[in-house]
Structure 1
Amino acid sequence: MKTADIRDRVTAADDVSLVPFSAHHLPGALKLSQEMRWPYRIEDWAFALQLGEGFVLERDGEVVGTAAWFPYGEDCATMGMIIVSGAVQGRGYGARLMDRLLSVAGARTVLLNSTEEGQLLYSRRGFRPAGTIHQHQGPAGQFEAPPLDVVRPMVASDVAAVARLDREATGFERRPLLERLLEVGEADVLLQTGEVAGYAIARLFGRGHVIGPVVAPTADAARLLILAALSRLQGCFVRIDTAAETGLSAWLETIGLAQVSDALTMVRGTMPPSGPSRVFALSNQSLN
């Protein structure tokens, strides 16, 4: 067995303990993400903890590692917020966190978005590449919203249609996530022949606002939804995470949202069927 494999599988015998992630860990988790230069606010950590479950590694009361998973029904889940402090990397702690997540997720299909550094850890656990996410961000310019008979603000009676479209696009049952996103964000729906055919949610996140999820039948329709959100965010810092296959990256560059990084989408298990609606932007790279 290679040395790297041994380090990946063996937990060091030291004073680091793995415990369930709870609210009192939030300041430590924030400090850890700041160390990694991830732009999470403590509100973003708390939001994720409300939707999923996680674990932390503690050493002398200090959070030195985090990981979370988000179940969508009994068959699917996403994972993310997997961080190990630079001071303790190389000791198998990432493997320890990941193995615990996978043990509680059970037989579910699991989707995650990986940094370059994490790809080997995940591939050893049966994850395979499934696409690339482009992160775009920058200050929003001045944009005109589409006509209200094309894109309008979402109302309560749209929720069932939005949940159906989201399920079509992702193959996941994400209604609890959608309901929570709608509590904290502003949503628009796309209309085709008077029926709801797509949606977008914008909310505070990280350095400013994130636009996502965006679900639509076509790239042109997704652009209309994004423009509706941007029309309310002039001068605000905006982030959009989109899969390379959507073809939106070049357009996002032209409207001033530069591509700043990539993540590799990886999956373990069989993805459920999806379509004809498609996901054009993520709510974030952990929740998907």
Structure 2
Amino acid sequence: MTLEYARKTLSAPLDLTKFEARHVPGALKLSQEMGWPYRSEDWEFAATVGQGLVLMRNGGVIGTAMCWNYGEAYASAGMIIVTASAQGGGFGSRLFDGLLEVTGGRNVLLNSTEEGLTLYKRRGFTAWGTVFQHQGPLGVALVPHDRGDIRLATVSDLVAIQAFDERASGMPRQAMVAALADVGDVAVIDLGGRVAGYAIARSFGRGYVIGPVAAESVHDAQRLILAQLSGLKGQFVRIDIHAEHGLGDWLESLGLKQVGQATAMIKGLRPVSVGPARIYALANQSFG
């Protein structure tokens, strides 16, 4: 690239527009540049269940930002990327400010890398916790430790699963849960006809991701995770957990090493869980 060509490229007009299916190849290239393991299918799924913005220059995607609205009060944000050659030029701020407009004044959750903290803090986000990323090839067969109360979900369980998720997350995420259940395998804890927890395993990135995992205790969360892992021997598995629940050492003992962490942040009020139900593992760090 000549110096003159570079100058023309960097000075070309920018276009901030709605994320559409035609932008997936450019978005995939950005995530690969960042070393993120998204596939085209992962971008397509995220766009189908949410909405987003792309920053274009010379017909190419140089930035992305996406959000997922949960009812009228909450949203999560993620997949916020600016190509390396354009970083430091205020493009990330422009993208993110546009995305906040898309959330319509909702309370917004996100999980930030170290590099993004300054931008988000300037926009009024505060840290409230930590998310640990665990992953690795599952080299051994794991036996589920259930008491006969864990089973695969059926279509008729969806409403109960959605209701449990709302109690656990404090947010009405019915559409997201239905979409995840549609593409994944769902295990539930069935206590005499009452859904008392669920876990979804689906194809994602380098292999499979287990999440969300929602349960009424750490022990039940472990049992649900084991139930899903029992069918994934030889596969690459990822689980993103809230550090506050203390599942990290246990996942390490299963061979799923901690390879990264993110800062959980909120702009506005945090959602509040109802009763003992909690979210122990995330669908991914963007969806929340």
Query: TM-score per shorter chain, which class?
Result: over 0.9
1:197 aligns with 2:210: no
Shift of 1:130: 1.2
Runs of 4+ in structure 1 deviating by more than 3 angstroms, as ranges, are: none
Shift of 1:273: 2.1
1:280 aligns with 2:275: no
Task: Write out per-residue CA displacement over residues 254-287 of structure 1, whole angstroms, 9 at most, x where no aligned residue.
Answer: 0000000000000001123213200010000111
Matches of 1:167 and 1:247, distance apart in 2: 22
Matches of 1:186 and 1:270, distance apart in 2: 32
Matches of 1:46 and 1:264, distance apart in 2: 25
1:170 aligns with 2:164: no
1:226 aligns with 2:240: no
Matches of 1:15 and 1:193, distance apart in 2: 61
The answer to whether the 8 A contact 2:152-2:187 is kept is yes
Matches of 1:89 and 1:209, distance apart in 2: 31
Match of 2:83 in 1: 85
| Count of aligned residue pairs for this structure pair | 277
Indicate the RMSD between aligned Cα atoms, in angstroms.
1.3
Matches of 1:191 and 1:254, distance apart in 2: 27
Q: More deviation in 53-62 or 137-146?
A: 137-146
The answer to whether the 8 A contact 2:12-2:58 is kept is no
Match of 1:217 in 2: 216
Match of 2:269 in 1: 270
Partner SS for 1:101: helix
Task: Report the TM-score, using the length of structure 1 for normalisation.
Answer: 0.94
Match of 2:151 in 1: 152
Shift of 1:81: 0.2
Residue type at the aligned position of 1:235: G
Matches of 1:52 and 1:211, distance apart in 2: 20
Q: 2:64 aligns with which of 66, 71, 86?
A: 66
Shift of 1:102: 0.8
Task: Report the TM-score, using the length of structure 2 for normalisation.
Answer: 0.94
Residue type at the aligned position of 2:285: Q
Matches of 1:138 and 1:245, distance apart in 2: 22
Matches of 2:221 and 2:182, distance apart in 1: 22
The answer to whether the 8 A contact 2:109-2:267 is kept is yes
Residue type at the aligned position of 1:192: L
Task: Write out per-residue CA displacement over residues 57-97 of structure 1, whole angstroms, 9 at most, x where no aligned residue.
Answer: 11111111000010011110000000000011000000000
Match of 2:5 in 1: none
Q: 1:53 aligns with which of 44, 48, 51?
A: 51
Q: More deviation in 144-153 or 230-239?
A: 144-153
Match of 1:106 in 2: 104
Task: Write out per-residue CA displacement over residues 114-137 of structure 1, whole angstroms, 9 at most, x where no aligned residue.
Answer: 000000000000100010000000
Residue type at the aligned position of 2:166: R
Q: More deviation in 45-54 or 146-155?
A: 146-155
Match of 1:7 in 2: none
Shift of 1:233: 0.4
Shift of 1:103: 1.3
Partner SS for 1:132: strand
Matches of 1:36 and 1:59, distance apart in 2: 19
Q: More deviation in 148-157 or 106-115?
A: 148-157
Matches of 1:172 and 1:61, distance apart in 2: 37
Residue type at the aligned position of 1:67: A
Q: More deviation in 162-171 or 40-49?
A: 162-171
Matches of 1:270 and 1:211, distance apart in 2: 27
Matches of 2:27 and 2:101, distance apart in 1: 22
Matches of 1:147 and 1:105, distance apart in 2: 40
